[in-house]
Chains A and B, each alone.
Chain A
Amino acid sequence: MLAKRIIPCLDVDHGRVMKGVNFVNLKDVGDPTQIAAAYQKQGADELVFLDITATNEGRKAIVETIEAVASQVFMPLTVGGGIHSVADMQNLLKAGADKTAVNSAAVNNPELITQGAKKFGSQCVVLAIDAKWNPEANQYNVYVNGGRKKTDLDAIKWAKQGVARGAGELLVTSMDKDGTKSGFDIKLYQELTKAVNVPIIASGGAGNIQDFTDVFLAANVDGALAASVFHFGELTIADVKSQLSQNGVIVR
């Protein structure tokens, strides 16, 4: 059976990896290839690169970054952030990415998912969803534009729609949990795993080793993504996997 995946996320701006908390106090912390190689050595199962470059001119840099990383690091690479067209996807896949993650652009134009899946196969199209619980409507709302803009979309329904359109994987961030280090949003992922039959990557809220065990055991997600706990060296991937293994979760 497939191993559960531990996935570090790297925020990339103009070809450099940035670290910060909630996009504040961003610091340049290094070269993407070197950091990716270090994660490969630690036992990461996949890497997600999030292009946080704000300008269109800067977007070419992410293609060069992926080209460089893919020449030195040999594991699955997913790229998200600022992908608006099939041509954007193609450029990244050609550079060595294995999957492209679409978020706001897919909300604005769901046809983008269909077109990408038709051209490259579902396995290349990840639907990234930023979701936040709305107690009044009793649903998770989808947010776009880096979580700044609320939409009326129900995240569970949007996930189903995305999969029906050909998304081969979901990368779902809980905005309620993101940055809190209080654990993953178990309820959100339980609802998602019931709703769709594609791999689901949980994101947002990882604070300690137990959080990873909890989300895999309680919600049966396929992967768990984290940024700060790995970047700042609070947890090592090896320690996380060691505890997962002790709890009967299959890891590499």
Chain B
Amino acid sequence: MIVVIDYDTGNTRNVKKALDYLNLENELTADPKKILAADGLILPGVGAFQKAMDSLNERKLVPIIQAAAERGIPILGICLGMQLLFDKSLEFGETNGLGIIPGEVVPIPENLGVKVPHMGWDKNRAVQADPLATVFDDQFTYFVHSYYVATDKAKIVATVDYGVQIPSIVRQDNVIGIQFHPEKSGQVGLAGLTKFKEMIQNEDYSRN
């Protein structure tokens, strides 16, 4: 069972719709017991970093998600859900994140002649071998964001070139972050969600 963590964010239901479409057994819930008993977790997210952390704190989910990561439960953070996995964000001041992967969330520079937000279909380039890199290398996926994660190269699985190299997929053992929206990226996005399910089943947390 995949648990989609329910904390009142924008795209939760679209992620669920994609899982339903793929017939992947899932439940949308904020119940800590169910979260810790899940085979895999998806942390969705759209909107502002601080508001999202506030919502997780109100529901007392921060230590639960940290514990799930610690126990080796596969976690997939999507868009803002990916950014929340890191130490802190510089969006509207400074806000602490879940601190599961080292790094911080910084604004996309506006002086590079690119439009911000980074909104639309952009092409991923794999920079490390990984099951998800196999799915998304050289593929266009749908992005909507104004901030990106600055993290250790060793954590970056794929990037897109948008004036700066934006990490589009990151991974630390059982914890994966995807900056784009697989649930809005057509067939290749759905293939990525299916791959996540396969990774859960194979308990394939190590890099290939």
Contacts and interface: CB of A to CB of B under 8 A. Distances in A.
A pairs with B: yes
A98 B17 CA distance: 14
Contacts of A75: 142, 184-186
Nearest to B17: A71
Interface string A51-84: 0000000000000000000111011100000000
A154 to B, nearest CB: 23
Interface residues of B, number: 30
A222 interface: yes
Contacts of A74: 18, 21, 183-186, 189-190
Nearest to B162: A1
A226 B183 CA distance: 24
A40 interface: yes
A5 interface: yes
A56 B189 CA distance: 36
Given A45-B121, A120-B10, A72 B115 contact: no
Interface string B38-53: 0000000011100000
Contacts of B18: 74
Interface string A149-184: 000000000000000000011000000000000000
Nearest to B14: A96
A3 B140 contact: yes
Nearest to A223: B120
A3 B123 contact: yes
A27 interface: no
B71 to A, nearest CB: 31
B195 interface: no
A184 to B, nearest CB: 19
B37 interface: no
Interface string A209-232: 000000000000011000000000
B94 interface: no
A121 B21 contact: no
A98 B121 CA distance: 14
Interface in A226-252: 252
Contacts of B140: 3, 252
A71 B124 CA distance: 26
A197 interface: yes
B115 A40 contact: no
A72 B190 CA distance: 11
A74 B11 CA distance: 12
Nearest to A45: B121
Given A3-B121, A3-B140, A198 B115 contact: yes
Contacts of B48: 121
B103 to A, nearest CB: 23
Given A123-B117, A197-B115, A96 B17 contact: yes
B25 interface: no
A117 to B, nearest CB: 12
Contacts of B162: 1-2
Contacts of B117: 122-123, 168
A90 to B, nearest CB: 10
B119 interface: yes
Interface string B98-140: 0000000000000000110111111100000000000000001
B184 A3 contact: no
Nearest to B190: A74
Interface string B174-192: 0000000001111001100
Listed residue (B13, B114, B120, B183) with the most chain A CB atoms within 10 angstroms of its CB = B120
Interface of A: 1-3, 5, 40, 45, 70-72, 74-76, 93-94, 96, 98, 120-123, 168-169, 197-199, 222-223, 252
Given A1-B114, A252-B140, 18 more contacts: A2-B118, A2-B119, A3-B120, A3-B121, A3-B123, A70-B14, A70-B17, A71-B21, A72-B21, A74-B189, A74-B190, A93-B10, A96-B13, A98-B184, A120-B47, A121-B46, A121-B48, A199-B115
